[in-house]
Structure 1
Amino acid sequence: MTHNVQTSIYTRTRLFANHYYLNLYQAVINTEDGESYEYEVEADSFHEATEKAEQYAYSLGVDITYVEVYHMA
C-alpha cells in the first residue's frame, strides 16, 4: 500500500513568519593567533548579524582581534 504525502512550498506564511529570514550574512571571526572562523548567520540586519557573530566568537574561548560581517547575495 502506498501513501501520498504533500508538502508545502510556501514558506512566507504566518506560520513561518517568525522563523524565516530573508537575509543571510557571512561572519568571519579573526583571532590573535591568526586563525579565522567562518559562519553563516541568518538575521534581519547587520546589527543583529554582528551580535550573533559575537556570541559565536565568545563561545570559542579565544582572543578575538576583529569580526567581519558580509551580506550574502
Structure 2
Amino acid sequence: MTTTVQHHIATSNNEQKCRTRRSYLFSQNIYQVEVNGEEGECLTYEIMADSCAEATATAESLASDSMVNISYISVMPMD
C-alpha cells in the first residue's frame, strides 16, 4: 500500500505551522478472507475494501462460483 505525504511549512506572524496533506488514492484496507464450505473446502482471498462487510460480500460473491454451500467466512485485516 502506498501513501503520499506532503509537508508544507508556512510562516504567519513569526510562527511556523506544519501542515500535512495525504493522498487517499489507496485509502482502502486489505483484508485476508477465508471462505469455508460445508464439505471441507477452503478458499483464501486478499481483498481491498473500505470495510470488513464489503470484503465479506466480495469474498462471498467470488466463492459462490466454485462453492455451493458456504459454512462460514473469517476476515482478518492485514496491516
Q: TM-score range by the shorter chain?
A: 0.5 to 0.7
Higher relative contact order (CA 8 A, sep 6+): 1
* TM-score (structure 2 length as normaliser): 0.63
Q: Does 1:37 align with 2:33?
A: no
Q: Residues 25-53 of structure 1, C-alpha deviation per residue, up to 9 Å, x if partnerless?
A: 01101011112110000001111111111
Q: Which runs of 4+ in 1 moved over 3 A?
A: none
Query: Higher Cα Rg: structure 1 or 2?
Result: 2
Shift of 1:61: 3.7
Gaps of 5+ in 1: 1-9
More strand by share: 2
- For the 8 Å contact 1:21–1:43, the answer to whether it is kept is no
Runs of at least 5 residues in structure 2 that lack an aligned partner in the other structure:
5-22
Q: Which has the higher helix share?
A: 1
Identity of aligned residues (%): 40
CA RMSD of aligned residues (A): 2.0
